[in-house]
Amino acid sequence: MDDVVIGIDASTTAVKAIAFTRDGKELFQARETYPLSNPKPGHFEQDAEHWWTALLGALRAVTDKVGAARVAAISIAHQRETFTLIDGGGKPLIPAILWLDERARPQVIRLSAELGREAIRDWSGKPPDPTPALYAIAWLAEHQPRALHNAAAIVDVHGFFVHRLTGRLVTSTASADPLGLLDVENGSWHPRLVEAAGLRPDQLPELVAPGTVCGGLSKGVAGLTGLRAGTPIIAGAGDGQAMGLGMGVHGAGKSYLSLGSGVVCGCYSQEVTTSDTFRTLVSPTGSGFMLETVLRSGMQLVDWIVRTTGSASAAALEKAAVDVAAGSDGLLVMPYWAGVMSPYWDGAARGAIVGLSLDHEPKHLFRAVLEGIAFEQAIASEAMEGQTGGKPTAMIAAGGGTNSELLMRIMASVLERPLSVSPVNEAAALGAAMLAASAVGWFASPEAAAEAMTAAPTRHVDPVGDLVPFYRTRKEIYRDLYHATRDIHARLGEVGEEV
């Protein structure tokens, strides 16, 4: 009994509840989806009640399979920056505003001017950008002031779930941090940022460190899920940090590379450090910090190419692109289809395809996109590692992009380092499970849980010797592309706004 922990991964599209054993093996997984609303350009919303229904369904499915008596604890990883407002009974007052949302670009400009761009970055760890909830909350203060004033609390996904599961209004510092309201160094709400958002201190959940027991499962929810009343609910973390922990990245010497819809790279830092070249986040272990670079448009560009060119599939394009020479016959792609976060933090930036000729075909574009993603990551990693003491000895990759042999060869060659591929399919949920396992005493710390519950990578991809110097030269040309197109994209955006 009590030999299983459940890790929750509440992503942008679904809740996954996964039962893990003490050695990190997945025993059973249940997945419940929910819709995403895009009511206006740049507005991305969800109904938090859909999250709750999905969570209950996933937990019920896992409990039915493994048995309530085996579940020692539950912990939560979740889509970051996403939030909603609730009343005193926990009912959502507005549609949840997602991390994808871009409605608050004017508030980014205003708050940067009022508080100082560097001050916001150094307080919160995050350069001003529409992604943190701070700016969307300020948007609500301007456009829906009554809803903001009447709200009992603002909650991230973790806080919403914990309140529903236990009755306590509490969230993890590693969950709330991406909202952009925390003093990242001290792990407490920052009064200036809270005031700038238009919030009152009494509207903020209690903060606890990841791995803390938030409370026990209420009798009412126990009846809905089949779990035992009082089952410990353990403070988790945002999905990015939890994913790193689930991949075994919890201290110096390793970094993670997530090749998903977006491309996220992170490494551990014992000391707080802030910069425009990365975001600084609370570590999921509660000790130290995680530094991250983010490319918003990653593997979704592959889907874009398939759709736009009318190709049969990504696999067919990749098969054709393998025979294209490195450099894609003079084609260069800057993959800013969704703007750029680190290191430029420029929402007006857009993608660029340079060097097109009548000889180019979809296969050339496919390879050039993969090369552009790799160039972008290399420049981001160089900037981050230049401020943190050099290259980590190991980089562990995960996500759908690792299924592309061509991308992995290009990425290793451009980064000039070997890549290990994580054998973990559900790293965010496993990271949450590690926090649960540590909290119930299976292991002495989250770090010890990560060592015990993470399988060693068995697949490794080395740089291709001849490609390294070629891509090194090519990367320097790519480095100038943003600066060459920045003003053009800004002017195009201004013309669009006027129309």
Q: What is the pLDDT of residues 354-398, one digit of tens each?
A: 999 999 999 999 999 999 999 999 999 998 888 777 777 789 999
Please state, as a whole number, how many other Cβ atoms lie within 10 Å of the Cβ of residue 481: 18
Strand partners, 8: 17, 76
Distances 60 to 30, 64, 214, 222, 431 between C-alpha atoms, Å: 9, 6, 21, 9, 21
The DSSP letter of residue 231 is P
Torsion angle of the four alpha carbons 21, 282, 264, 385, in this order, in degrees rounded to the nearest 10: -120
User: What's the alpha-carbon Rg for the chain, to the nearest Å?
Assistant: 22
Laid out side by side, the sheet with 26-33 consists of 26-33, 14-20, 4-10, 71-78, 232-238, 213-216
pLDDT in tens, 192-209: 999 999 999 999 999 999
Q: Whole-angstrom Cα distance, residue 156 to residue 282?
A: 15
**What pLDDT shows up at residue 433?**
98
**What pLDDT shows up at residue 497?**
56
Contact (CB, 8 A) for 426 and 432: no
Q: Whole-angstrom Cα distance, residue 54 to residue 45?
A: 16
Measured N-to-C along each axis, helices 157-166 and 48-66 cross at an angle, to the nearest 10 degrees, of 60
- Strands of 11-130 (E only): list them: 14-20, 26-33, 45-46, 71-78, 83-86, 96-97
Name residue, tokens 């292991």: 443
Single out the residue of 395, 428, 394 nearest to residue 240, CA to CA.
Answer: 428
This prediction has a pTM of 0.92
User: Range(s) for CATH 3.30.420.40 in the chain?
Assistant: 4-241, 248-421+465-499
CATH code that applies to domain 248-421+465-499 = 3.30.420.40
3 state DSSP class of 102: coil
Strand partners, 19: 6, 28
Instruction: pLDDT tens for the chain, 499 residues: list them.
Output: 789 999 999 999 999 999 999 999 999 999 999 999 999 999 999 999 999 999 999 999 999 999 999 999 999 999 999 999 999 999 999 999 999 899 999 999 999 999 999 999 999 999 999 999 999 999 999 999 999 999 999 999 999 999 999 999 999 999 999 999 999 999 999 999 999 999 999 999 999 999 999 999 999 999 999 999 999 999 999 999 999 999 999 888 889 999 988 899 999 998 999 999 999 999 999 899 999 999 988 899 999 999 999 999 999 999 999 999 999 999 999 999 988 988 899 888 999 999 999 999 999 999 999 999 999 999 999 988 887 777 777 899 998 899 999 999 999 999 999 999 999 889 999 999 999 999 999 999 999 999 999 988 989 999 999 999 999 999 999 999 999 999 998 888 877 655 4
Write the Ramachandran bin of 163: left for phi over 0, alpha for psi from -120 to 50, otherwise beta. Answer: alpha
Four-way CATH pick for 4-241: 3.90.1300.10, 3.30.420.40, 3.30.930.10, 3.30.1360.120: 3.30.420.40
Q: Whole-angstrom Cα distance, residue 222 to residue 229?
A: 5
